[in-house]
Amino acid sequence: MSTPHNSAEKGDIAKTVLMPGDPLRAKFIAEKYLENPVCFNEVRGMLGFTGTYQGKRVSVMGHGMGIPSIAIYTYELFNFYDVENIIRIGSAGALQDNVNLSDIVIAMSATTDSNYAEQFGIPGHFAPTADFGLLEKAVAAARKINAPFHVGSINCSDTFYRNDDVSEKLKDMGILCAEMESAALYCNAAKAHKHALAIVTISDHIFRDEVMSPEERRTSFTQMMEIALDVAVQIS
């Protein structure tokens, strides 16, 4: 059963899917870590692969940039392909002084300026939140490899280039970093009664002149990848 965005058939995709924004990062992970990876999707260049890691079946697929893109791909995985767990492995811009380039942030919650959750008709504001079981396993995995990590709230924005001082306000509220996808992932998981977690690596700092190149973002986030794979093995 294919969709307009995914040529996979049922059974082609594992119960646990790792999702970077960049489809070339998905290809890198599949080639570097998975045994016998098979490409299940090339539609719109959004590459997806299934293979095994430490004997466990795992898939990895790109989700693109922004809430509309990740919302489509994760909705289909949860609702059409029987996926149970999605772990976003992306990049983010640091907001706090003690969050540095290459640090890992495990997103407990995702505050957002998006109105994506309005479709669910909940009065007030829905709080997009990680699955605690996945979060707990990711923290243990990060400690096991002595990775520099932080756990807390992140900001998920519809806007990449901002013309206001909202970053200062987010910093003041203790938000660790900013990205553009995790809130939709958490909303879709909640609605589908599935499990989701976002793990991001700091690729730039919003208040300092520090930024990684696209190639560095594609190939140097290995600690984050290994943490996500560790979690995948535990739940597969």
Cite the active site residues.
204
In angstroms, what CA-CA distances link 2 with 7, 38, 81? 5, 16, 9
- Determine the number of helices (DSSP H) and then strands (DSSP E) in the chain: 7, 10
Q: Is 200 helix (H, G, I), strand (E, B) or coil?
A: strand
In angstroms, what CA-CA distances link 85 with 15, 78, 123, 220? 6, 8, 27, 24
Residues with Cβ within 8 Å of residue 103, at least 6 apart in sequence: 94, 148, 149, 150, 201, 202
Residue 98 — φ and ψ, nearest 5°?
-90, 5
Q: What is the rounded distance in angstroms from the CA atom of residue 73 to the CA atom of residue 93?
A: 23
